[in-house]
Structure 1
Amino acid sequence: MTKLIGLMSLLVNMVFTVNANEQVEQKNIERISVTGTRLKGIDIEFSSPVTVITREDIDNSGATRLADVLRANTVNTFGSRKESAGGIKQGQATLNLRGLGEQRTLILINGHRIANSAAIPDAQNINLIPLSAIESVEILKDGASSIYGADAVGGVVNIILRKNINTHNIKISRAQTNIAGGDESYVSVYGGITNNASNITYSAEHQKKSAIFARDHTLTKEGLSRYGNPASYRITNLDSQTGLALTKTFPDARCPQLLNQAISPDSKIEGDYCKFNFANHAQLQPSSHSNSAMIDGQLQYNSHTSVFAHLDYSINETDGIGAPTPSAGGTVFLPTMSANNPNNPTQNQTLGFDKNFDGIDDIFVAGPFDLELFYRNIHGGLRKTENSDKMLNFYTGVSGDLSDEKHYEFMSFFNSNQSNSLTKGLMRRDLLQAAIDDASYDIFAINQTTDETLARSFSVDSDFKAKYENLGSRFTLHTNSFGKNNSEYDTVYGIEYIEHDYFSHYQDEFSDNVIDGRSGGGSAKGKRQIFSIFTETQYGFNKKLNLNFSARYDHYSDFGSSINPKIGLTYRYSPNIIFRSSIGTGFRAPSLYEMFSQPNQTFSFIRDATPCKAIGDLDNNGIKDTYQEVSTLANSHPCQPVNIETIISGNNKLEAEKSGSFTSGFTYEVADDTRFHMNLYYQYFDNEISLLSNEDILEREGNLNDANKIIRDEQGNLTRILKSYGNFSGSKTAGMDIEYELIFQTQAYGLFKWSTEVTGVLFHKVEIIPGQGFDDINGNLGNTESRLNTSIRWHFNDWKTSLSFDFLPETKDNNIKLKSTILANFYTKYQISKKISSSLGVLNFFNTDPPSNQALGWPYYIADTSFIQGRTFYMDLSYTF
């Protein structure tokens, strides 16, 4: 903060050393800024593809959060992170352009960086950007490290806020979903005051959204876990002759045969386990309420100098609920009970074991036996997570003209992102184990009633705090180097200094066999400084051909230096046709979290590839199937997904990744009526920083290095996956974007506008192990080969109406398929008077369920690309004065 005060002092001095007595004049020339370039001019021919989402598009979408607007864009082909109840990340939403990773999409506000999320510190939480303050959104679908530095390797989203308005508006809206939960209320106010010398713009909004419980959706209302209460126990017997570890699993004798029985209504016997329906208590979406405020101002100090300042603050609070804590994880994966424990249910039992696996017991062994327990502490209550995510974004500066051909801007900025999380109802494993060992907790009620009061004493709360701060300043100089009349400033030079400071901390550091049920996140701490020099120029060879060149030098205090150039050409073939092409390189240093995060625990449903592969001939064609179709298999079958612990750690030996991008395309425009745009793209990454998916690790078991470990018990059952961030071979992707817009005006029926956007992915290849070749994951589960949005709008007198469709094709992996889906949305607006308007809309008009498959494991759909709320009606009322 001391450095920030120093920068502010310098700024103030610069402003007030200018002659204050000069008369303020208003220039007639308007400078245009375009995302993807720092050049400002009257007519900029830019060589990279940019898609603009207008304020009208935002209003037509019916969205009250920016994340909902961006997720519907076709360039979000593989989907993006959504809010999901449980853990420190439950209120987070990010964007993943072209499926290249949320950490490779850079989010800007008015062209300036914002701090990364404190809960997801290699990405930015777009849920904290107030929608009411936004004028438009520009999406640069190309790498831009030469302009904006690291993190811009996959694409850039620039949020342009309202400015220079001289009106005020109040808006209220309400949304009602087709299922229980998910209802939403929203209130916003924005406005501004402007004159020849100054302008001030403000906005504020409040939003409240109710939770969606899994039990209220037909698709997700049943999710069974082998960790239950009543519990189950597993016996392992070592055969002295063969050395084989023979096992049997038994449910608690008190476990009912069906769900919804008077005793233990959430439990039932399935196979060898007493399984628990955790979905009856879990949320798909947490409840939330958010508040935000923004103020932006600019003062024309004199004819050559203006000062500006911007401040926005947002807070999003979420409450998530999960099922009672399962007791699993750690080096000793399950709680145990010794054979000589007086509460052991296998006393005086003789059990048969099938040592040659022919279905007939061959040996019989008298108990008691040592047990492993599949237990859930339901008496400790539900897990409840209360999260608070906050963002403060501040910048201020001065800009002016040094001469007719030179314009400068100096700015200082500070932005901060904080996350605080409190999870109640976790469980102390050591307390449970001690109570089992001393026989005070009779878990199977062998000698006495299970002590619920004692079970509640195992509960513990977990507190998490994290902060990510950016602090720095930037100076840019715009100049007319080539003296061209069609561009006011055709060259820019700049220098920038940024400090990143991140920390996260759990009050209870993750420790094996201490805390069960904690989800996500790990303690970490790190700092770095980045010094950058950049330049960009546009040169017109003639009236048709323009050259764009940019280059940036970045020096990292912990990673050395990198230079990234980019060159682009635009060729105006005719007044209606422009060809564009660009090629450039990129650089991304590992994030502080990727390097320094301490081990953290998560659980997810995983289908274990080793026992599941090639176990039968389902279609009876004489060839063993790669996988069995899960819907045809018994619930205890090894192909069924199981809930497995994953431990994720940082890696301070990571190296920076390098990338390259190429785009080429054209735009065809006819007056203001027709526009057709096509763009081909290719992007690649070398030495890519990645965290392998559990599925990738299991598919390649035995071929990965020690950074990724698969832990199995004596019987070969998967119990734990240890993984850390690493540098892998890389990925490469190519595809095509098409945008079409047709406008036609009629006297009798008003104006019609037809818009269509399509993104088609030609390939998306990844190589996990160097030298083993690239696999094309395009079209695999959740990785759509294409995405199409089309809409028809009608405007006549006081009416505006639109109908839009979002299409995602089928995806599949081996014989697991997710069907194609179409979401239809309807919107209409009526201008009641000059000041009052009202809108009515329907999201997911046909009440389409997300595509699902049992093989995915609960919740049986892919959240990043799905709309779970069902048909949703919304209505708003707006008053302008």
Structure 2
Amino acid sequence: MHQRTKIAVAVTLAMSAMSAFAQTAEPVSAAPAADSMQKVEVTGSRIKRAAAEGSLPITVVTRAQLEDSGQTTLAEFIRTSTFSTTGQFRPQSGSSAQAWSGANLRGLGSSRTLVLVDGRRVAKAPNVGDAADMNSIPMAAVERIEILTDGASAIYGSEAIGGVINIILRKDFDGVYAMVGKTNPEITGGDREEASVLFGLTGEKGRFIAGASRTSRDIIYVRNYPWGAAKGASSYGNAFYAAADDGAGGTFPNISAAGFRGNAGACTDAERGFYVAANGRCVYDFNLVAADEAATATKSVFARAEYNISPDFTAYLNASNTNNTSFGRFAPVPDSILVNAGSPGNISRTPDQDVYLAHRFAAAGNRDTSTDGNLTDMTVGIKGTVAGFDVDVGARRTVSKIVETGRGFVVKGLATTAINSGAYNIANPFANSEQVLRSITTTTGRDSKFAQSEIYATATHDLFAMAGGTSALYVGAEHRKEVYADIYDSLSEAGEVLGSSGNSASGDRKVDAVSAEWTLPFTKTIEGNLAARYEKYSDYGSDFSPRASVRWAPTRTITLRASVNRGFAAPSLPLITSKPSFSADAVIDERHCLADGGYTAAECVTEPFQINGLRIANPNLTSEKSKQFSFGGAWDVSNALTIKADYWNTEITDVLSFIDAQTLVNRDNGEDSRPVPAGLSVRRAANGTILQVVSGTTNEGILKYSGIDAAATFTHRYATLGRFRHDLQISRMLKAETNGVDFNGDFGQPKQRITLNNSWAVSAMGLSGIDFSYNINVIGKNGKEDEELRVGSYVTHDVQLTYAPSFLKGFKASIGAVNVGGRLPTLVTDDTKPFNYDLFDAYGRQVYFRLEQKF
């Protein structure tokens, strides 16, 4: 049994008290009968039906819940979901995906989480190539979010292993709406602004809605964090060390000890980051200038139109354009430069020997990276009824482009030459002329594109009557073409730019798919569902994904459900199309060492050698495969209280895994019993010397995950107080292991996440138009008891007060605070960031206001 946190106990007791109190509360009105409900398409199925509990676990997030959260972007909201077990990547300075935010359900990865807009897949972000960018979808355009926490490849195809996030856009809106908002975090920096306008009208011949929105967040510098005042000690300051040294500086002290202490550009210039550490080493304070969080801004315009051509046919058009920009700053470039014996630049204490200079090129400026991305999405189609078939035929074109520009980067070859010749003044770097600095620096560039063209046709038809209703069949066909390119500048691609590298990739693929779904209402209480999808890829092969599910409602208040399915995730275009890149890998290999000579047998088992490495896009890649099942149900305890619970189990085989050079060498030697994967290799000479190690990604390994999701909704109202609603969501991970190794509960892998959302529509003391919300968010402890990488449970509280006065029709004002207690993350990390960046943030208390007006 796991030890429950105090907050979990408190939440349980609170919900128990609410259930007991329900008898005295005035219940809300019962939902309308299923037969009177409008049929809609629910995520996980292509067959429209009444919006009641189905055979799959689906969580619906309403527009009101989005607004009550205090979040300004979809990415930020999804990150707070209990289904985002391990958090998700968010915009960060200096990253190759600086402005990107992924969605990561169950901790299975963003490449195994499918993101849809109105049931159609979102194009992948070109700077990652294998997942959608949640920042590309404006929150102002969203009506609701449906989260399917089960495998869905049988309906949607690749990547729907971890689950599906289906974002439903607004369609029915009349009038004009405008909103502005601002958020001020407790920390300096990170301020958020938001604004949107919406226009809509509905008539006999159709409906139209259009809008625009803008959101932004300021950059956050490390120095502004509570811990940012501490100096960041980087050994890359301005110090010589021997060629045989490990860089600790024992043989050759820093140059200030060689007589340069008094020079402004050496180690006494604290304002520029250089200082002498306690060990006498010249070091650099990277916290002085670096930013952890990038500045981001998003501008979107969107429109949807429907026109009733006839009583049987409707034409529709969806169009949107989103522009994402970002700015990030990293500390100046560090590197070790070989300074030759006798060269003018060798001003070390032993100028007659080769030495290394551990140097920070602060005089050349900070590394500044800007990105400018643009996503255009357009869909046209026609839907209607033909001979009893409900049909939908359409075409879609999505193009995502990102241009990245970097400044302040140093070309190693040019810098090495300038230092050795004495043209670059080591003793006083800031005395170097602009001409000298420009001669060793470069502007980096990266152009990325992901274009997706799609045509689709679907048909649904009622087949025959059964005891429980009418059996219906859905069939669909799709053709999709994906074109991908991620091109780095030639110097970065060649590895000549310090602090910047990249491996260009480009290619395209065609995907053809057919799918079918069949509902079988055996009785009034039992309904079965069969679904299957076949996809053929032009570059690696094909996949078939079947699913069977059943829903049983033994009483009017209890619904039980179960499903079993198979899924897949196709290898991404970056994995298949990346250009080969050379790498100088360090490996320990006794055979190579002994053949090289000069070492004893004992030394050869510990001495690393640099070998010729080549990293490739493995031509033998195929898709990951999954086996999944789930079961659970919902119980309407009363009109006021509903409880849901589901168990899920996922096993992924043929996992796409990167195999490094050392692992390949170990396998080649038999130290690792697993074979060298097809497409990868270790080439040796006759005497055992390694000529080349070809590393890359292969299909290998098994992942096993399982867990339980539980939820409860309690609504009650009182004539003298108002209406109350409480939504409790708990996600508990039971198993997480790779190749039989358990990592459930490890650092960054919390077993449990909880949210409790409370709202109160006030009607006390004659007041009206006042709404109050209070949310509790819990991230469970993670990290083993006996390990340093361990953090305790993390609890934050959000509040919001909204006022819509009756004397100002259509006006609403909101004020609130996210993380009202100002909780900061525990400073424990296994990365360059000081805390787990995917799970937590360091904004502290975030006070916001929002003004809305509808005409």
Q: TM range, normalised to the smaller chain?
A: 0.7 to 0.9
C-alpha change, 1:221 and 1:684, in structure 2 (3 Å) is farther
Provide the residue aligned with 1:678 in structure 2. 645
Provide the residue aligned with 1:873 in structure 2. 847
Provide the residue aligned with 1:665 in structure 2. 632
Provide the residue aligned with 1:423 in structure 2. 406
Provide the residue aligned with 2:526 in structure 1. 545
Q: Does residue 233 of structure 2 align to residue 250 of structure 1?
A: no
Aligned counterpart in structure 1 of residue 827 of structure 2, from 852, 855, 865? 852
Tell whether the 8 Å contact from 1:164 to 1:194 is kept in structure 2 after alignment.
yes
CA distance in 1, matches of 2:458, 2:422: 72
TM-score by length of 1: 0.81
CA deviation string 1:587-617 (max 9, x = no partner): 2220101222246899xxxxx999xxxxxxx
Tell whether the 8 Å contact from 2:491 to 2:497 is kept in structure 1 after alignment.
no
Computed over aligned residues only, the root mean square deviation of the Cα atoms, in angstroms, reads 3.3
Q: Does residue 125 of structure 2 align to residue 142 of structure 1?
A: no
Provide the residue aligned with 2:183 in structure 1. 175
CA deviation string 1:11-62 (max 9, x = no partner): xxxxxxxxxxxxxxxxx98331100110112366632111111101100011
C-alpha change, 1:223 and 1:759, in structure 2 (3 Å) is farther
CA deviation string 1:138-187 (max 9, x = no partner): 00101111000111122110000011221221000011111111111111
Q: Secondary structure at the match of 1:39?
A: coil
Letter in 2 for 1:491: L
Aligned counterpart in structure 2 of residue 468 of structure 1, from 413, 435, 450? 450
C-alpha change, 1:272 and 1:261, in structure 2 (3 Å) is closer
What's the offset of the Cα at 1:786? 0.7
Q: Does residue 459 of structure 2 align to residue 493 of structure 1?
A: no
Aligned counterpart in structure 2 of residue 861 of structure 1, from 835, 839, 851? 835
What's the offset of the Cα at 1:472? 1.6
CA deviation string 1:405-444 (max 9, x = no partner): 4211111111111111101111111111111232333424
Q: Secondary structure at the match of 1:863?
A: coil
Letter in 2 for 1:429: K
Tell whether the 8 Å contact from 1:249 to 1:273 is kept in structure 2 after alignment.
no
Q: Secondary structure at the match of 1:86?
A: coil
Q: Does residue 515 of structure 2 align to residue 528 of structure 1?
A: no
C-alpha change, 1:693 and 1:820, in structure 2 (3 Å) is farther
Tell whether the 8 Å contact from 1:41 to 1:489 is kept in structure 2 after alignment.
no
What's the offset of the Cα at 1:505? 0.8
Trace 1:315-330 onto structure 2 (pairs within 5 A).
315-327=323-335
TM-score by length of 2: 0.84
Provide the residue aligned with 1:784 in structure 2. 750
Provide the residue aligned with 2:100 in structure 1. 92
C-alpha change, 1:383 and 1:255, in structure 2 (3 Å) is farther
What's the offset of the Cα at 1:661? 1.1
Letter in 1 for 2:569: R
Q: Does residue 383 of structure 2 align to residue 410 of structure 1?
A: no
C-alpha change, 1:159 and 1:723, in structure 2 (3 Å) is farther
Trace 1:722-871 onto structure 2 (pairs within 5 A).
724-767=696-739, 774-796=740-762, 797-813=768-784, 814-832=787-805, 833-853=808-828, 856=830, 858-871=832-845
Trace 1:66-85 onto structure 2 (pairs within 5 A).
66-85=74-93
- The share of aligned pairs that are identical, in percent, is 24
The number of residues matched between the two structures is: 765
Provide the residue aligned with 2:364 in structure 1. 380
Letter in 1 for 2:398: N
Which stretches in structure 1 are left out of the alignment for 5+ residues? 1-27, 239-244, 328-333, 350-366, 603-607, 611-645, 711-720, 768-773
CA distance in 2, matches of 1:278, 1:600: 30
CA distance in 1, matches of 2:582, 2:558: 54
CA distance in 1, matches of 2:833, 2:443: 26
CA deviation string 1:265-290 (max 9, x = no partner): 44332547422111211112112222
Q: Secondary structure at the match of 2:253?
A: strand
Provide the residue aligned with 2:545 in structure 1. 564
Provide the residue aligned with 1:284 in structure 2. 292
Tell whether the 8 Å contact from 2:344 to 2:420 is kept in structure 1 after alignment.
no
- Deviating more after overlay: 426-435 vs 666-675: 666-675
CA distance in 2, matches of 1:825, 1:545: 41
C-alpha change, 1:696 and 1:738, in structure 2 (3 Å) is farther
Provide the residue aligned with 1:341 in structure 2. 343
Provide the residue aligned with 2:23 in structure 1. none
What's the offset of the Cα at 1:203? 1.7
CA distance in 2, matches of 1:400, 1:677: 36
Aligned counterpart in structure 2 of residue 653 of structure 1, from 607, 615, 620? 620
C-alpha change, 1:173 and 1:647, in structure 2 (3 Å) is farther
What's the offset of the Cα at 1:326? 1.6
C-alpha change, 1:694 and 1:294, in structure 2 (3 Å) is farther
- Deviating more after overlay: 84-93 vs 229-238: 229-238
Tell whether the 8 Å contact from 1:377 to 1:455 is kept in structure 2 after alignment.
no
Tell whether the 8 Å contact from 2:37 to 2:51 is kept in structure 1 after alignment.
no
Letter in 1 for 2:403: N
CA deviation string 1:670-700 (max 9, x = no partner): 4541111100000011111134799999999
C-alpha change, 1:693 and 1:166, in structure 2 (3 Å) is farther
Provide the residue aligned with 2:136 in structure 1. 128
CA deviation string 1:708-765 (max 9, x = no partner): 999xxxxxxxxxx996433221211000000111111111111111111010001110
Q: Secondary structure at the match of 1:818?
A: coil
C-alpha change, 1:856 and 1:410, in structure 2 (3 Å) is same
Tell whether the 8 Å contact from 2:329 to 2:366 is kept in structure 1 after alignment.
yes
Provide the residue aligned with 2:593 in structure 1. none
Trace 1:604-623 onto structure 2 (pairs within 5 A).
none
What's the offset of the Cα at 1:230? 2.4
What's the offset of the Cα at 1:221? 4.5
Provide the residue aligned with 2:496 in structure 1. 514
CA distance in 1, matches of 2:665, 2:75: 32
